[in-house]
Copies of this chain bind each other. A is one copy, B any other.
Amino acid sequence: MRDPLAPPEVPRRLLMGSGPSNPEFRVLQALATSPLPADVPGFEQVLTDVTALCRSIFQASAESAALTVPGASRSGLEAAIASLVRPGDRVLVGVYGHFGELLCTLAARHGGTVERIDADWGQPVDPDTMVRRIRENPPRLAAIVHADTSTGVLQPLEDIGAACRATNTLLLVDVVLSLGGCEVNVADWNVNVAVAGLQKCLGGPPGLALLTASPSAQDAFTGGESAYLDLRRLAHTRDELSIPMVFAAHEAMRMVMNEGLAPRWQRHQRASDALRAGIEAIGLERFGNPRYHVPMITLVEVPDGMDEAGVRQQLLEQHGIEIMAAFGPLRGRVWRIGTMGTNACLPSVLALLGGLESVLHSRGFRWQPRGAAVDAAIAAWG
């Protein structure tokens, strides 16, 4: 019988699943900054910095608002939808994975009439189809995921954004997975509202959503039923702030900008290339259209006859490395391996390949020579 007064037992883990990833130690330390009341000048300055840093990382215009919403990234997505969708509004959603389904669910829950464009899992939504639908009959809101952890696919956004601009359609994009790991440019792509979290490629813990809103999105904000999710109100209140999470966001974004956006995207790409080279050297195959692979999560097809869950379990218990199962149509068929934030580096890739190699060997999946994966990863990292 566990004593609830005992300290928690938190195992050491290399988090290489679909997120959260291991946070930067400096970001965890920032959580322990003594809180300041939300209305003091020192805290106002932190909030001003957070806004400036958000604009830089999202590549948003100087007129954009930057907001934080406590809770998981999906709190931010729901706040965006609650603030943009009025009952009966038409919402066009591009769906190519689990998180596109979430956008549909949230839009319907807030009274929107959802129209969807589906793509097969492993492919992005066809931009031409979405552009045509927007131009023919502009909805109130178009919504799509930039990079979906469920499929590892990156969605091209430029043409969709241009069609939205031409038709005065609002565009909402989920950049939870992509921000900090590959290019996100909400100004050039005409994204009106973009939503991210700290726990993927930004090197922070889960617990806060980051959000930018263009001037036209701010003008369009409507009051939903919930005060909590009302971005008009959140833009002007300090009532809901999670002060530790704001300090964490500040430190995570400082680290991103000190590294530089382009070097950080390149680091994620190198880690992804190294992982994929190693996976291919083992003889495993990647899932999805290679033209649209994201650089922060890699979907690997489970070899015939291999126990998908058993391998993950063994990797976790024997080597302390977490990778993830897949959702929906991919369940049991692929593993999802993340290289996000702190784990977008060669040591984490080598640890994963070493552990996976050992587990697969123990289960009779063998190849020659044994060190091929490591050699290939090191060569690809360059």
Contact = CB atoms under 8 A, between A and B. Distances in A.
A245 interface: yes
A62 interface: no
Interface string A1-35: 01011111111110101001011000011011111
B32 A28 contact: yes
A225 B227 contact: no
Contacts of A4: 48-49, 52-53, 56, 254, 257
Interface in A206-222: 206-208
A48 B186 CA distance: 41
A42 interface: yes
Contacts of A28: 31-34, 244
Interface string A143-162: 00000000000000000000
A235 interface: no
Contacts of A36: 10-11, 13
Interface in A32-77: 32-37, 40, 42, 45-46, 48-49, 52-53, 56, 70-72, 74-75
A308 interface: no
A318 interface: no
Contacts of A231: none
29 contacts: A2-B45, A2-B48, A4-B49, A4-B56, A7-B254, A8-B33, A10-B33, A10-B34, A10-B247, A13-B34, A20-B243, A22-B34, A28-B31, A28-B33, A28-B34, A37-B322, A72-B242, A78-B227, A82-B226, A105-B227, A106-B227, A109-B227, A110-B225, A111-B225, A207-B242, A207-B244, A207-B245, A208-B242, A224-B226
Contact of A258 (B5, B31, B53, B111): B5
A345 interface: no
Nearest to A33: B10
Nearest to A3: B49
Interface size class of A (residues with CB under 8 A): 35 or more
Main secondary structure of the interface of A (DSSP, over half): loop
Interface in A309-351: 322
A308 B371 CA distance: 74
Interface of A: 2, 4-13, 15, 17, 20, 22-23, 28-29, 31-37, 40, 42, 45-46, 48-49, 52-53, 56, 70-72, 74-75, 78-79, 82, 105-106, 109-111, 199, 205-208, 224-229, 239-245, 247-248, 250, 254, 257-258, 322
